[in-house]
Amino acid sequence: MPWIALTVDDVATKVAGPELNAARTAALNSGQSDPLPQIIGDTVDTIRGYVAGCRTNRLGPSSTIPSQLVSTALVLIRTAALNRLPVSSLHTETRRQEYTDAIKRLEHVSACRFVIEQPESDEIGPENMTGAGSPQIKRPPLNFQRHHADGI
Protein backbone atom coordinates (compact mmCIF):
# COMPACT_ATOMS: atom_id res chain seq x y z
CA MET A 1 0.00 0.00 0.00
CA PRO A 2 1.26 3.47 -0.80
CA TRP A 3 1.86 6.48 1.36
CA ILE A 4 -1.29 8.59 1.38
CA ALA A 5 -2.43 12.12 2.11
CA LEU A 6 -5.29 12.28 4.62
CA THR A 7 -8.40 14.28 3.81
CA VAL A 8 -11.40 15.54 5.74
CA ASP A 9 -13.38 12.68 4.15
CA ASP A 10 -10.99 10.18 5.75
CA VAL A 11 -11.66 11.74 9.15
CA ALA A 12 -15.40 11.34 8.59
CA THR A 13 -14.90 7.56 8.64
CA LYS A 14 -13.67 7.73 12.26
CA VAL A 15 -15.73 10.54 13.79
CA ALA A 16 -19.51 10.56 14.02
CA GLY A 17 -21.19 13.17 11.83
CA PRO A 18 -22.59 15.37 14.61
CA GLU A 19 -19.28 15.29 16.50
CA LEU A 20 -17.31 16.15 13.39
CA ASN A 21 -19.65 18.99 12.51
CA ALA A 22 -19.41 20.38 16.05
CA ALA A 23 -15.61 20.11 16.04
CA ARG A 24 -15.45 21.98 12.74
CA THR A 25 -17.89 24.76 13.57
CA ALA A 26 -18.10 25.22 17.35
CA ALA A 27 -15.75 27.26 19.50
CA LEU A 28 -14.55 29.39 16.59
CA ASN A 29 -13.44 32.98 16.99
CA SER A 30 -14.91 35.48 14.57
CA GLY A 31 -13.22 35.10 11.23
CA GLN A 32 -11.67 31.73 12.16
CA SER A 33 -12.07 29.06 9.52
CA ASP A 34 -12.54 25.31 9.79
CA PRO A 35 -9.78 24.01 12.11
CA LEU A 36 -9.83 20.45 10.76
CA PRO A 37 -7.36 20.93 7.87
CA GLN A 38 -4.82 22.38 10.33
CA ILE A 39 -5.40 19.51 12.77
CA ILE A 40 -4.87 17.01 9.95
CA GLY A 41 -1.65 18.76 8.85
CA ASP A 42 -0.28 18.91 12.39
CA THR A 43 -1.06 15.23 12.95
CA VAL A 44 0.58 14.21 9.67
CA ASP A 45 3.70 16.19 10.62
CA THR A 46 3.77 14.51 14.03
CA ILE A 47 3.51 11.05 12.51
CA ARG A 48 6.22 11.83 9.96
CA GLY A 49 8.42 12.90 12.87
CA TYR A 50 7.94 9.56 14.58
CA VAL A 51 8.63 7.73 11.29
CA ALA A 52 11.83 9.73 10.78
CA GLY A 53 12.94 8.77 14.30
CA CYS A 54 13.85 5.30 13.01
CA ARG A 55 17.06 5.53 11.00
CA THR A 56 16.02 2.74 8.64
CA ASN A 57 12.82 4.49 7.54
CA ARG A 58 12.49 6.70 4.51
CA LEU A 59 9.86 9.36 4.27
CA GLY A 60 7.37 9.42 1.43
CA PRO A 61 6.20 12.52 -0.39
CA SER A 62 5.51 15.62 1.67
CA SER A 63 2.21 15.57 3.63
CA THR A 64 1.79 11.79 3.35
CA ILE A 65 1.91 8.95 5.85
CA PRO A 66 2.27 5.19 5.43
CA SER A 67 -1.02 3.39 5.04
CA GLN A 68 -0.29 1.28 8.17
CA LEU A 69 -0.60 4.44 10.29
CA VAL A 70 -3.87 5.81 8.89
CA SER A 71 -5.98 4.43 11.75
CA THR A 72 -3.42 5.82 14.21
CA ALA A 73 -3.65 9.23 12.56
CA LEU A 74 -7.44 9.19 12.63
CA VAL A 75 -7.44 8.51 16.37
CA LEU A 76 -5.07 11.42 16.96
CA ILE A 77 -7.10 13.72 14.72
CA ARG A 78 -10.36 12.76 16.41
CA THR A 79 -8.87 13.43 19.84
CA ALA A 80 -7.48 16.82 18.80
CA ALA A 81 -10.72 17.84 17.12
CA LEU A 82 -12.91 16.82 20.05
CA ASN A 83 -10.54 18.48 22.53
CA ARG A 84 -11.72 21.78 21.08
CA LEU A 85 -15.20 21.16 22.49
CA PRO A 86 -16.06 21.76 26.15
CA VAL A 87 -17.78 18.37 26.44
CA SER A 88 -15.90 15.79 28.47
CA SER A 89 -18.46 13.05 27.80
CA LEU A 90 -17.02 12.68 24.27
CA HIS A 91 -13.83 11.28 25.77
CA THR A 92 -14.93 7.79 26.70
CA GLU A 93 -12.62 5.24 28.28
CA THR A 94 -12.49 3.38 24.96
CA ARG A 95 -11.39 6.52 23.14
CA ARG A 96 -8.76 7.30 25.78
CA GLN A 97 -7.37 3.77 25.40
CA GLU A 98 -7.33 4.11 21.60
CA TYR A 99 -5.34 7.34 21.96
CA THR A 100 -2.86 5.70 24.37
CA ASP A 101 -2.46 2.75 21.99
CA ALA A 102 -1.91 5.12 19.04
CA ILE A 103 0.90 6.95 20.86
CA LYS A 104 2.50 3.63 21.84
CA ARG A 105 2.37 2.51 18.20
CA LEU A 106 4.13 5.70 17.11
CA GLU A 107 6.78 5.20 19.79
CA HIS A 108 7.34 1.69 18.43
CA VAL A 109 7.65 3.11 14.90
CA SER A 110 10.24 5.62 16.10
CA ALA A 111 12.19 2.89 17.91
CA CYS A 112 12.17 0.69 14.76
CA ARG A 113 10.00 -1.94 16.51
CA PHE A 114 6.97 -1.45 14.24
CA VAL A 115 7.81 -1.94 10.59
CA ILE A 116 6.17 0.39 8.12
CA GLU A 117 6.04 0.22 4.37
CA GLN A 118 8.86 2.15 2.78
CA PRO A 119 7.87 4.44 -0.07
CA GLU A 120 8.64 3.42 -3.61
CA SER A 121 11.80 5.04 -4.92
CA ASP A 122 9.91 7.18 -7.43
CA GLU A 123 7.72 8.60 -4.63
CA ILE A 124 10.64 10.14 -2.77
CA GLY A 125 11.71 13.74 -3.17
CA PRO A 126 15.28 14.85 -2.46
CA GLU A 127 14.19 16.68 0.70
CA ASN A 128 13.00 13.51 2.42
CA MET A 129 15.22 10.64 1.39
CA THR A 130 15.86 9.10 4.80
CA GLY A 131 14.82 9.17 8.40
CA ALA A 132 16.65 11.04 11.09
CA GLY A 133 20.39 10.89 10.75
CA SER A 134 22.90 10.30 13.47
CA PRO A 135 25.14 13.15 14.47
CA GLN A 136 28.75 12.68 13.51
CA ILE A 137 31.00 13.83 16.30
CA LYS A 138 34.73 13.78 15.80
CA ARG A 139 37.20 14.71 18.44
CA PRO A 140 40.60 16.05 17.66
CA PRO A 141 43.44 13.59 18.15
CA LEU A 142 45.15 13.87 21.50
CA ASN A 143 48.84 14.54 21.14
CA PHE A 144 50.62 14.61 24.47
CA GLN A 145 54.34 15.24 24.31
CA ARG A 146 56.82 16.14 26.98
CA HIS A 147 57.82 19.48 25.44
CA HIS A 148 54.15 20.65 25.40
CA ALA A 149 53.89 20.28 29.17
CA ASP A 150 56.41 23.02 30.07
CA GLY A 151 55.20 25.20 32.90
CA ILE A 152 52.77 22.68 34.34
Contact 106, 72 (CB under 8 A): yes
Residue 66 dihedral angles phi and psi, to the nearest 5°: -70, 145
Instruction: Give this prediction's pTM.
Output: 0.73
Give residue 95's region: left, alpha or beta (phi > 0; psi -120 to 50).
alpha
pLDDT digits (tens, 9 = 90+) for 29-47: 677 788 888 999 999 999 9
- Stated as kind and residue range, the H or E segment containing 124 is none
Q: Which of 95, 97, 103 is nearest to 79 (CA)?
A: 95
114-143 per-position pLDDT tens digit: 999 998 864 444 444 454 555 666 677 766
